[in-house]
Structure formats: C-alpha cells, structure tokens
Structure 1
Amino acid sequence: MSKKATKGILLVQLGTPDSPATSDVRKYLTEFLMDGRVIDIPYINRTLLVRGIIAPTRAPKSAKIYETIWDKETGSPLMHYSIIQRDLLQKSLGEDYHVELAMRYQNPSIENALKNMEGMLLDSIRVIPLFPQYASATSGSVIDRVMELIRKWNYLPNMSFVSSYCQEPLMIETFADHARQHDIAHFDHIVFSYHGLPVRQLGKVDPTRQLSCPEDGCDSCKNTVNSFCYLSQCHATTRAIAQELGLEKEQYSICFQSRLGKEPWIQPYTSSLLEDLAQKGKKKLLVFSPAFVADCIETIDEIGVEYANEFKHLGGEEVQLVESLNGDPKWIEALKHLALNA
C-alpha cells in the first residue's frame, strides 16, 4: 500500500489550445485575453475588443502556426514539456508529495487540479507559477485564481505561493548550460528577449498609483531587483545569466516581444533591436527567451522562425534560439528547491 501524500505542489503554466483547430485556438485566446489582469481595461471595452476583434482575426492565423509546431502524439510543446516537468518533479519529491499540473487558461484547468487536491485532505499546498519573473498578468493572475477557488473549500490547508524566482541559481545555470551547447564565440551578439507588457502595467505595482514608468524602464529597475517590478526582474535574470557566462555588457542586449495593440509597451521591442543590430553589422545572434521555462509558440515560432526571417531580411545571417529549460535535470532540481523552500 502506497504512502498517503500530505503535501501538494501545484505547477501552473500559461496555457495552450486543446488542438490547433481554429475553434480551439479562438476559445483559448478568448479566455486568455478576457482576463482583466492581462488586458486591464473596463470589462465592456475588453469584451468588444477581444470577442469582436482580436480573437476572430487572430485565431485563424495562430491556428496555422500551431499546426506547424503541434505533435500528433504529444500535442503542443508547452503541454509536452510541462507534463515532463510535473512527472520528473513528482519522482524527485517522492510519495510524501502530490504534484499537479494546471494551465491558467484551458486544460488541465486550475479548478480541476484543485478539486483533485481537495479530496486528498492535504496538510499544505504550494503553488508555483511557471513564470520566473513576477507580473500581475502572469503569476499575479495565477495566484488570484487559486485564491478565488480555494476560499470556497470547507477546510483550508496551509497555502504558500512562489511569486517569483528570477535569480534562482540552478535555473540560471541551466540557461547558461543550454547556451554552452552552442559555440558562443561564433555569435556577434547575445539577445535576451522577454515577453512584453504594456508600460502602464509596470506602474500599477505601486498601490498609490503615483509611479510613472518610462517606456524602457527607470535606472533603478535596470540595476536593482524590485520584487514586483517585471522589468526589474527581467534585467536581474539577464545580469545573472550574463555573469554565469562571463559576458561583458557590450556583448548582449535585452528586448521585449509579443506586443499587442498600438499603446506603448516595454521597449526596446525585439523587432527594433534586430533592425539596430543589423545596421551595426551584426550577422549572427544567439537568443535567450528567459521568461519561458518550456519551449512554446513564443520561442519556437516567434523567435526561431519569425524573428529569424526578419533578421535575415535585414541583412543578418543567423538567429540561434537557446533551448528553454524543458526537462533538464538541473531545472527539475531548481523546481524541487522552490517546492521545499520558502
């Protein structure tokens, strides 16, 4: 008879469509973009924008891209690697722990994952959003949803949340190890491309709403670590990986991808940086995407295909994506550390 688990770990990724069919992609995009922490505008405006414009127009285009990265047996890369991470972490933690995987949007849902855990009468649950850098639209949304659901339980286990781990040593080492799989000296420049955010969301971490953030961040957030400033933590991750690899400041740049709409997002944009590097005569780029702990549409297609083609059109020769953390044993050890330590 197996030992009863007493502690729960809930890993939460962003999400993925159930299939590359346009209808499933539309459903995923709608749930994702209707989250008030993702598009933080009034509900009626958000509904008109998402359901009336973005989801109907983007779903067919995104579906075609998903088809190119979808595996007939394992599905989306994000789901495939997330399941591997869950299973390896479960094996590493042992039978005292029960590890669940959920997606913030679509399946497996946070609601169903928590229902599974509720019936186990666990003493404690630790929630680990699979986003190294805290943002209200990612980790904040996960924590918000978990709290919304868990408060309905008749018994409440000890709850804890890992809101950010932008400088987790084993995670940094894993990214560096993956870069070393390539001949770093072969490349003219190193690029750290993070998922973007609207600039207005940076200032919202200030409860007084008096913080005004410039589009490329303030000097403070570029040099110190603010526990709730996404941009600050992106710079912190970059500095840590660069230090691990022994890079000088002039050898690398930071930028932000996946912009949506016309309002200002965090800059420099990845497209703008590629143009600037091409004008400076850079030909070969090694690109990290450290906002993601598993390869997905944003890394495999947006960087590996879209930005690679864009850079070549500008006169560049090569864009090499550094593999994400995926199922690397050292990353699993990092997850174990996050599961066991506050």
Structure 2
Amino acid sequence: MAASYGKIGVLLINLGTPDTPETPDVRKYLREFLMDKRVIDIPALQRYFLINGIIAPFRAPKSAKVYKQLWDERGSPLLYYGHDLRDLLQKELGDGYYVALGMRYQSPSIKSALEELREQQVERIIVLPLYPQYASASTGTSHDMVMEIVKDWWIVPSINFISTFCDDPLFIKAFAEIGRKHLEARKYDHVVFSYHGLPERHILKGSTRNYCKLGTCCNTYHKLNRYCYRAQCFETSRLLAKELGLAEDQYTVAFQSRLGKDPWLKPYTDEILKDLPAKGIKNVLAYSPAFVADCLETTIEVGQEFKELFEQAGGEHWQLVESLNTHPLWVEAVKQMVLRN
C-alpha cells in the first residue's frame, strides 16, 4: 500500500521506436540504438565507423520500408501499446502512484519520464524495463541510463530496479491464454518459441563463476544462471509449455534477429523452421516471448517473414501468437510486480 506522505513513482521502460517510418528518422534511431556500448560491445572508435559508415546508411532505407508495413493509424504499436499500458496501470494502482513511460532510444525519453516523476515529488521510484528476460543490451542498458540521469539529481529518492520477470506466474498465464485460443481453433503439429538473439560472447561475459557452457547448463534455472538470458529463455519456454500442456517434443526454442558474422545464440529460428516440414511438421504456432508488445521483430519478422520461409519449405500454416499488449492478465501482472516491489 502506498505511503500517505507521498506518491510512489513507476517508470516503465521499453526499447524504443523511430519517430516516423521515414528513412531519416529510422537512421537516427538506428544510430542511437547501435551506438550503445551494451548493444555492440566493441571499441568505441570501431563502433562509430561501423555504425555511421556502414550499418546506418545502408540499413536505414531497407528498415524504413519494413517499418512502413508495421505502422498503422495509431503509429508504432510498441509505442502506443506502451502508452495504453501506462494508462491502464495508472488506473489500477490509483492515486498513490504515478506511472511514467520512457523509451531507451528516442521518444519519450527515459530522461523526460524521470522528470515527470521528479515533478510529482515521488518518495520512491520502481523501475520496470518491459523485457521479460534480462540482457545487458536491453534491461542492463535501461538501468544504466536511469542511473546515469539520477546521479546528477541533488536529491535521489530510493529506487527499486526490477531486472527480470521471465518466470512471473501471471506473465506466463497471460501469454498462455493468448496462445490457447489458437490451439483450440486449430490442430498444430508443433510450437516454436522464438526469442531475440544475442551474440554468444554476451552470455559468456555475464556468466557467474564461468558456469555457462552454452549447452545443458540451461536445462534448469537456479542462482548460478538466474541472470543468464539463454537460461531465462528456456525457463520461460518450459513454463509456457507446462501451462499449455505441451510435452518436450512438442516445442522448440530458437533465436532470431542475428546481426553480423560472430556466433549468436543457437539454434537460429530462420534455419530450424526450414527443416520442420521435412519432419512432417506442417502446422506451427509461433511465440515471441521476449516481447510484450507488437513490434518489428514479432509482427513482421516472425509473423510475415518466417511464415513465408516456412511455406516455401513446404509448410502449410504458420501462426504468430499476438504479444501481450494490453491483455488484462498482463496489466494485472505488471500491477502485482509493482506492488511486490
């Protein structure tokens, strides 16, 4: 229950989106995103020339075309579902709380959201990055930015950081409920849980006591791999499979969206889906449990591009499970996470 002497601030954070799907705005977004040292962890000068000289100039026009497919009458789904979640959570929490939304890259910025909370003179701040599984390139950089901003405040209130909710029961229930409607409407041969990929070196850099071997070490989830992104992806998948009543041979965990030539987490979604039809798996239900709102990586990459690859390989039906967006159980999950903290 909120203290009577002041409000509790809640800062919801998501990755961000270009201001418009036009090439200049997409290029601006890519530059800010990819210049982050936690995203591309190479020396600063090398990163600068790679991003500004190669990736942003050549990738922006292609990405802009894809963003135009994603945009609708309300704009970017990741942004407007963020605003919707903020408003619904504010209503659920009531007057003892003040909820703000900030994007790690572009608008609304984390700085502007923190200023909102400071103007409200909140007693404490609960920071909740909307990434179910912890990664330095998502949750870590969001926490990093918050700390970078508040270090210059004269008065710094108590701040609670929520780092992961990969195994949160209501988060799992909400995603399972959305997928269950598809399973009830049609018979599926297999379920694919596709997560955003990371370079393998990111996983190894965060390994506790050199525990990580990028193998069976993720078969169970415990204190030594609690903040391992790969382990959390497998744990989310196990819990979702259990909630959906799936046996181990009825689902596959894979990773998408790799960039560059360095090894990323395997197996790669775009490669495994091509082999499924030859195994007699012609109808697939696809989840993207690393994302809580519709975005480029879900709607376009998993929902459209992977569907085309699957059908070209001989598959008959590929169905994307929608993101949590503003599902009532998801709103309740966020509310309970805030109250627990």
TM-score range, shorter chain: over 0.9
SS in 1 for 2:284: strand
Task: Extract structure 1 runs of 4+ deviating beyond 3 A.
Answer: 210-213
For residues 312-331 of structure 1, what are the structure 2 equivalents within 5 Å?
312-331=311-330
Equivalent-residue separation in structure 2 for 1:29 and 1:35 (angstroms): 10
Letter of the 1:29 counterpart? L
- C-alpha distance 176-207 of structure 1, shift in aligned 2 (>3 A): closer
Task: Name the counterpart of 1:145.
Answer: 145
Task: Name the counterpart of 2:190.
Answer: 189
For residues 53-202 of structure 1, what are the structure 2 equivalents within 5 Å?
53-72=54-73, 74-183=74-183, 186-202=187-203
Equivalent-residue separation in structure 2 for 1:53 and 1:318 (angstroms): 37
Once structures 1 and 2 are overlaid, which stretch shifts more, 179-188 or 55-64?
A: 179-188
Q: 2:218 aligns with which of 205, 218, 221?
A: 221
For residues 218-257 of structure 1, what are the structure 2 equivalents within 5 Å?
218-225=215-222, 226-257=225-256
Equivalent-residue separation in structure 1 for 2:132 and 2:153 (angstroms): 29
Letter of the 1:27 counterpart? K
Equivalent-residue separation in structure 2 for 1:79 and 1:5 (angstroms): 29
Task: Name the counterpart of 1:37.
Answer: 38
Report how far residue 237 of structure 1 moved.
Answer: 0.3
Task: Name the counterpart of 1:203.
Answer: 204
Equivalent-residue separation in structure 1 for 2:116 and 2:92 (angstroms): 21
Task: Name the counterpart of 2:27.
Answer: 26
What is the alpha-carbon root mean square deviation over aligned residues? 1.4
SS in 1 for 2:254: strand
Report how far residue 275 of structure 1 moved.
Answer: 1.5
Equivalent-residue separation in structure 1 for 2:58 and 2:267 (angstroms): 26
User: Which sections of structure 1, spanning at least 5 residues, go unmatched?
Assistant: none
Contact 1:4/1:95 (CA < 8 Å) preserved in 2? no
Contact 1:4/1:96 (CA < 8 Å) preserved in 2? no
Letter of the 1:6 counterpart? K
Letter of the 1:297 counterpart? L
Report how far residue 115 of structure 1 moved.
Answer: 1.4
Equivalent-residue separation in structure 2 for 1:294 and 1:154 (angstroms): 35
Report how far residue 99 of structure 1 moved.
Answer: 0.2
Letter of the 1:191 counterpart? V
Equivalent-residue separation in structure 1 for 2:106 and 2:269 (angstroms): 28
Once structures 1 and 2 are overlaid, which stretch shifts more, 218-227 or 61-70?
A: 218-227
Task: Name the counterpart of 1:307.
Answer: 306
- Superposed CA offset, 1:261-319 (max 9, x none): 01100000001110221221211110000000011111000011100001111111111
TM-score by length of 1: 0.95
Equivalent-residue separation in structure 2 for 1:336 and 1:171 (angstroms): 11
SS in 1 for 2:79: helix
Report how far residue 223 of structure 1 moved.
Answer: 2.1
Equivalent-residue separation in structure 1 for 2:292 and 2:86 (angstroms): 13
Contact 2:195/2:254 (CA < 8 Å) preserved in 1? yes
Contact 2:207/2:228 (CA < 8 Å) preserved in 1? no
Equivalent-residue separation in structure 1 for 2:293 and 2:6 (angstroms): 27
Report how far residue 4 of structure 1 moved.
Answer: 8.6
- Superposed CA offset, 1:13-61 (max 9, x none): 0000000000000000110000000000100111111111111111111
Task: Name the counterpart of 1:277.
Answer: 276
Contact 2:211/2:217 (CA < 8 Å) preserved in 1? no
- Superposed CA offset, 1:194-216 (max 9, x none): 000000000111377x5664xxx
Equivalent-residue separation in structure 2 for 1:314 and 1:13 (angstroms): 34
- Superposed CA offset, 1:146-195 (max 9, x none): 01111111111110000001010011001110011113561111000000
Report how far residue 5 of structure 1 moved.
Answer: 5.6
SS in 2 for 1:183: helix
Report how far residue 116 of structure 1 moved.
Answer: 1.6
Letter of the 1:332 counterpart? V
How many residue pairs were aligned? 335
Equivalent-residue separation in structure 1 for 2:250 and 2:112 (angstroms): 46
SS in 1 for 2:285: strand
Contact 1:11/1:129 (CA < 8 Å) preserved in 2? yes
Letter of the 1:128 counterpart? L
Contact 2:270/2:306 (CA < 8 Å) preserved in 1? yes
SS in 1 for 2:182: coil
Equivalent-residue separation in structure 2 for 1:89 and 1:182 (angstroms): 27
Equivalent-residue separation in structure 2 for 1:116 and 1:80 (angstroms): 18
User: Which sections of structure 2, spanning at least 5 residues, go unmatched?
Assistant: none
